Amino acid sequence: MSRSRVQALVGSIVIASCLAAIFYIYSRPSRNGFGAEHDFVTVLTGAHCLVSGCDPYDAPSLEQEFPRMGGYIPTSHFKPEWPVYPPSTFLLLFPFSLLPWSVLSVVWLLLSFGFLSAAMVVLFLRFKAYRDLLSVLPFVILLADGSIGWAVQLGQPTLIAASSLTLAIVALESGALPLGGLLLAISLCLKPQGAYLCAAYFLLKTRTRIPALAAWLFTAAAGAAGTLLFYFRLSSFAYLGHLSANLKLAMQPGRDADFSRVNEANSSSFLNLQAFLARLIQNPHVCNVLTYATFLAIAALLVFICWRKRTLATRPYTILAVLVMLELLVSYHRLYDHAMMLAAIPGLYEIKERGTASYLLFVGGLFVYHFSQFHGMTIHGLGPFPSGAPVELFIAALCLYSLWKNRPATA
């Protein structure tokens, strides 16, 4: 066996072993006072409402239904703004909701571990990160990030959604179109706000248009089917009004998705630009306007550069990295959504092929992004500042600069 193959094998084993240790440690009951995988509980119980006939967007109903599924009794009540996942997510997870909780909690943990391990190992092998210490640095940073453990504690669907998106990107660009389309559909169903721009990009490319279109149609069909099934089960569309009310409630001052300083304890862990701007600007409407303006400006600049330099098909990974940053910048994401950065790693290695300096700057950005010590910092009495958005802007700028220079690959 050649030396490179040995390095690849050892590196893959180390990645899987580190993830196994993280999952084991952070899945211990002592790590979660509220209850194991409680973010997943509300989603799962909502899916089970297709059987029991409860309202998937009514928190008290979900709290009563979960113990009937064999689940634990949580130490505090479900918050009314927690049930906000779309019907497409419920339909995708419905088969799992038929399992008793004692079995399902383990199955979900193993699925999350399997998807995340597959995504990391595929990236590690596909971009030959085992070649030298410089190439392996991103994986050292990713594995040292405590937010993976937080996501494991919560049973967060983002682990599977981010891993599916990452694997879909590699599969679609490598020619495995049916597999890529399926993985893209899974990501869209679980976390549409984290995959929609990447899915739109694949629609623009001739080679990937059919699997991307299939993923979009599958997600739309799952959403429509889920909506209609709940209607037939509940004999009313009133539950959709509850979803709308939950989304509005979540944005109210002090609630879970409020990015202002009123919700300072939570919003300092947000990754979207609004949370950073809210430390400097008191008016939330101004923060939203500036965020959307920034989003549109970066998107317009990306379109211009792709048109001017004709890089739409030749620099896919770098373009997708910009799109991932835009998705993180504009919509509600928290530290456990750090896993979404996996989908930008192919762009990192595409940049590395064209120069070490930009690659090291990108890695430096990852270091700041993935270590909690840089989150919630106070500067001259201002803050605490979430560091996610500045890093996302920095990485987007690096990628746009690389696309504009468009140097030929040297490695």
Q: Tens place of pLDDT for every residue, the chain, 411 residues? A: 788 899 999 999 999 999 999 999 998 876 666 666 778 999 999 999 999 999 999 999 999 999 999 888 776 778 899 899 999 999 999 999 999 998 999 999 999 999 999 999 999 999 999 988 999 999 999 999 888 998 999 899 999 999 999 999 999 999 999 999 999 999 999 999 999 999 999 999 999 999 999 999 999 999 999 999 999 999 999 999 999 999 999 999 888 889 888 887 777 788 999 999 998 898 999 999 999 999 999 999 999 999 999 988 899 999 999 999 999 999 988 888 999 999 999 999 999 999 899 999 999 999 989 877 677 777 666 667 788 899 999 999 999 999 999 888 875
In our burial notation (b when 16+ CB lie closer than 10 A, e otherwise), range 95-108 reads ebbebebeebbeeb
At residue 252, what is the residue type?
A: Q
Domain range summary for the chain, segments of one domain joined by +: 1-250, 256-411
Nearest-Å Rg of the Cα atoms of the chain is 21
Alpha carbon distances (Å) from 166 to 122, 342, 353, 359: 9, 6, 19, 19
Alpha carbon distances (Å) from 289 to 85, 274, 390, 395: 25, 9, 17, 22
pTM of the model: 0.95
Q: Rounded to whole angstroms, how far apart are CA atoms 58 and 79?
A: 10
Residues 145/185, Cβ–Cβ less than 8 Å: no
Q: For residue 408, what is the DSSP state?
A: P
Which pLDDT score, from 0 to 100, does residue 77 have?
72
Q: 6 CB contacts (<8 Å, ≥6 apart)?
A: none
Residue 411 burial by Cβ neighbours in a 10 Å radius (0-12, 13-18, 19+): exposed
Which pLDDT score, from 0 to 100, does residue 138 have?
95
Residues 81/257, Cβ–Cβ less than 8 Å: yes
Residues 69/45, Cβ–Cβ less than 8 Å: yes
